[in-house]
Amino acid sequence: NAGVMQNPRHLVRRRGQEARLRCSPMKGHSHVYWYRQLPEEGLKFMVYLQKENIIDESGMPKERFSAEFPKEGPSILRIQQVVRGDSAAYFCASSPESYNEQFFGPGTRLTVL
Amino acid sequence: AQSVTQLGSHVSVSEGALVLLRCNYSSSVPPYLFWYVQYPNQGLQLLLKYTSAATLVKGINGFEAEFKKSETSFHLTKPSAHMSDAAEYFCAVSSPSGYSTLTFGKGTMLLVSP
């Protein structure tokens, strides 16, 4: 059973471009969480999704950021018009049920030039 | 609201010495508590978790943690450090009611010298 997969592992964007981060949960997992890790900081919750539903996006910036988890395919975290402050590691985690242990992917390291 | 405080952004020990990483939490309800380890440029791996069963929890790689409600603490220990334990360690808390989003501490980097 493959673990949580994230791609790309590294992403470089110039200011103003769009960044798309993908997360494929573990097989059988229907709950996905996105976290952001800024330098010298712990992970901060961004958004929690189930298939085709956003359950909690209280940690997501109100502008430029969006997330989806379609019926088919990976979960996508989209950042429009990136700025240097968006440079961070973005981690995805999945669980089979909402109360269960979360399994983390290897992360996508976004660098904004 | 929940929060986690990890005392010491860096902890240095010698190989074979006791490892003690401190974690204090704040939660309005009895929490679930976790310790994760992160190796450079990798994701987080669960070391152990407390979910209101035994207060002394044993995890992987010889680590254990004790939940102390009176001290609101969940410190991580290992009797004898190994070079391969050098990594960053994160303490996290979640609520047992509702869905389980995690609130993380800022992390403690464990340095192990020969």
Taking an 8 Å cut-off on Cβ atoms, the answer to whether B44 and A98 are in contact is no
- Of the candidates B41, B90, B96, which has its C-beta nearest A43's C-beta? B90
Rounded Cα gap, residues A19 and A10, in angstroms = 11
Mutate to test the interface with B, among A104, A108, A109, A111 (most CBs of B within 10 A): A104
- pLDDT tens, per residue, chain B with 114 residues: 788 999 999 999 999 999 999 999 998 777 889 999 999 878 899 999 998 778 899 999 999 999 999 999 999 999 999 999 999 999 999 876 666 788 999 999 999 999
Taking an 8 Å cut-off on Cβ atoms, the answer to whether B107 and A48 are in contact is no
Give the dihedral sign, CA B101/A31/A92/B50: positive
Taking an 8 Å cut-off on Cβ atoms, the answer to whether A101 and B45 are in contact is no
Give chain B positions within 8 Å (CB) of A104. Answer: 36, 43-45
Token readout for B45 is: 């791996």
Summarised one tens digit per residue, pLDDT across range B5-37 is 999 999 999 999 999 999 999 987 778 899 999
Taking an 8 Å cut-off on Cβ atoms, the answer to whether B102 and A33 are in contact is yes
Give chain B positions within 8 Å (CB) of A100. Answer: 100
Rounded Cα gap, residues B89 and A100, in angstroms = 21
Taking an 8 Å cut-off on Cβ atoms, the answer to whether A104 and B105 are in contact is no
Summarised one tens digit per residue, pLDDT across range A32-87 is 999 999 887 789 999 999 988 999 999 999 999 999 999 999 999 999 999 999 99
- Tell me what pLDDT residue B96 has: 66
| pLDDT interval class at A2 (50, 70, 90) | confident
Find the helix or strand (DSSP H, E) in which A85 lies. Answer: none
- Tell me what pLDDT residue A13 has: 98
Give chain A positions within 8 Å (CB) of B36. Answer: 104
- Tell me what pLDDT residue B30 has: 77
Query: Phi-psi category of B16—alpha, beta or left, where left has phi over 0 and alpha has psi -120 to 50?
Result: left
Rounded Cα gap, residues A112 and A3, in angstroms = 28
